Amino acid sequence: MSLVNVTDLTVEFGSLHAVDGLTFRLEQGAALALVGESGSGKSTVASALLGLHRGTGARVGGSIEVAGVDVQAASDDELRRLRGGKAAMVFQDPLSSLDPYYAIGDQIAEVYRVHTRASRRAARARAVEVLDRVGIPDAVRRSRSRPHEFSGGMRQRALIAMALACAPGLLIADEPTTALDVTVQAQILDLLHTLREETGMGLLLVTHDVGVAAESVDEVLVMRHGRAVEHGPVSAVLGSPAQPYTRELLGAVPRVDAPRGHAEVPEKPAEAVLEATGLRREFGRGKRAFTAVDDVSLTIRRGETLGIVGESGSGKTTLGRMLVGLLEPTAGEVRYDGHARVGVNPAVQMVFQDPVSSLNPRRSVGESIADPLRARGEADEGRIRGRVRELLERVGLEAAHYDRYPHEFSGGQRQRVGIARALAADPRVIVCDEPVSALDVTTQAQVVALLGELQRELGLALVFVAHDLAVVRQVSDRVAVMRRGRIVEEGPADEVYDNPQNPYTKQLLAAVPALDPRIAAQRRAARRELAVV
């Protein structure tokens, strides 16, 4: 009997057909990835496997069997025993899945007690055991820590530990590495692979990242608009896709081993528009002082893109905010057109990682885009509205979208709004802070293409801050690699990627997911050997 057997699954929310006639199986110990863009129905399928749509108003049809349980016919008690006991789910955002008020160990112990009726002492011991199993050092002590005391990667490990507490036969991982750095992502994927080998559990991986699928599974099911587009062994689907949509999806994936198609380099370098000299930024005082950026110097020239890469905590975002003027440096200075910058300069704008948090939900997007126009003294409302409409169309939206609110747009559309707002100030430099990290690959490619088009037409200089090394190579002329507040390597993008000199740069590049499953397996084995050494 298959571990998961889904036949003609349909899920409807009102008039929306989120899943439409999906059929697949997953055998014990095997791994299957559901791959597709946002809105393809991937997460809806994952939730349906555990009966999470029950009571939500969604209409679920077809047959779903998981670990011998008929999910559609199961009672509420049977579903509770299934969830966490026979099948467990790891969600994308561990912070929303963990209670901020309770210690990690207590939360894992509670899950274990609910399903096994074990004593408090046995449950606490089990919590420590699984935390140790997922690679959290000093598990006894860290089991008493609360979620905010863990890094993003450690929180994800803790969530996996919670899922493992009752030794489920099936682990459902819904975008488990989306917000993580490449090195931490590699660690989590290696962990999932090792757990499968040692426990024999099945893995259903939900992801929009084709590279993550190549690293992790045996089979791939490509979804679009709630339907299966292509399904087969990972090597066949990714190596020689049969369907145009699968080829389109693969074509949109940025490649860390593919040089950017650079324009001809002028004999004379363009003039510098933004210079940073000896930048340093500290947070806190006394013994609690922390240096986020330490003695960083950079030059950004007209019309070029400087990529800044590094892991979370490397100082990338702090550096970007100092370049824009949102943070004042503790030491050093930023010069624009050869003059020391004081405060925020409208000629240097920023596009933020999360457009939802940077747009006021109570104001229309048109009004948000108009803010820079009003800030520089424009008072004619007719001219303001006309300029905003031009900007909306310039970034691929409609002029009529002026009066819509942020929640009415997709993630990619909201990022376009953020770009339009940055353009409203007629900048010469735009600092992009992780502008595509939360987007699926096709939307990501569209936003990257838009930035490149605007750069060429307007002569903009771009500073592209990201932890995704493949995207940075695709867009950058030069690259600076940051670690612990310092730049450890800098140079032309192709030189840094093809011939890295710093061990840290080499480590980052080795952790990037490979689209070829054979190469992914070789890299995983190499990382395992290094870990043993």
pLDDT tens digits for range 279-314: 999 988 887 788 999 999 999 999 999 999 988 778
- CA dihedral sign, ordered 201, 207, 212, 214: positive
- Residue 533: its pLDDT value, please? 46
pLDDT band at 429 (very low <50, low <70, confident <90, very high): very high
- Residue 53: its pLDDT value, please? 92
Pairing of strands 4-13, 59-66: antiparallel
SS3 213: helix
As beta bridge partners, residue 307 has: 464, 479
CA distance 333 to 277: 6
Q: Where are the domains of the chain?
A: 96-167
The alpha-helical segments, DSSP class H, found in 209-307 are 210-216, 234-239, 244-251
SS3 of 153-186: the string is HHHHHHHHHHHHCCCCCEEEEECCCCCCCHHHHH
pLDDT of residue 459 exceeding 70 = yes
Which has the closest alpha carbon to 373: 349, 352, 399, 343? 349
- Residue 492: its pLDDT value, please? 94
CA distance 482 to 246: 35
The alpha-helical segments, DSSP class H, found in 88-230 are 94-97, 104-116, 120-133, 139-142, 152-164, 182-199, 210-216
Q: What angle do CA 87, 92, 96 make, to 5 degrees?
A: 95
Q: How far is CA 196 from CA 171, 180, 187, 200, 240, in A?
A: 9, 21, 14, 5, 26
pLDDT of residue 212 exceeding 60 = yes
Mean pLDDT of the chain, nearest integer: 88
Supply φ then ψ for residue 306, to 5 degrees: -105, 120
pLDDT band at 21 (very low <50, low <70, confident <90, very high): very high
- Residue 346: its pLDDT value, please? 87
- Residue 267: its pLDDT value, please? 55
Task: State the amino acid at position 368 in one-letter form.
Answer: S
- Residue 415: its pLDDT value, please? 87
pLDDT band at 5 (very low <50, low <70, confident <90, very high): very high
CA distance 364 to 362: 7
Residue 116 falls in which region: left (phi positive, over 0), alpha (psi -120 to 50) or beta: alpha
SS3 486: strand
Under a CB-based contact definition with an 8 Å cutoff, are residues 237 and 218 in contact?
A: no
Under a CB-based contact definition with an 8 Å cutoff, are residues 365 and 405 in contact?
A: yes
Element counts in the chain: helices (H) and strands (E): 21, 20
> pTM of the entire structure?
0.79
- Residue 47: its pLDDT value, please? 93
pLDDT of residue 184 exceeding 70 = yes
pLDDT tens digits for range 136-181: 888 999 899 998 888 777 888 888 888 888 888 999 998 888 767 7
CA distance 479 to 464: 9
SS3 496: helix
pLDDT of residue 530 exceeding 70 = no
**180 vs 114, residue with greater confidence:** 114
pLDDT of residue 263 exceeding 80 = no
SS3 103: coil
Q: By mean pLDDT, which of 56-65, 202-211, 440-449, 499-508 is the weakest? A: 440-449
pLDDT tens digits for range 339-369: 887 778 889 999 987 767 778 889 999 999 9
Under a CB-based contact definition with an 8 Å cutoff, are residues 318 and 310 in contact?
A: no
CA distance 278 to 501: 23
Q: By mean pLDDT, which of 47-61, 85-99, 102-116, 518-532 is the weakest? A: 518-532
- Residue 268: its pLDDT value, please? 63
Q: By mean pLDDT, which of 58-62, 197-201, 310-314, 421-425 is the weakest? A: 310-314
CA distance 209 to 175: 9
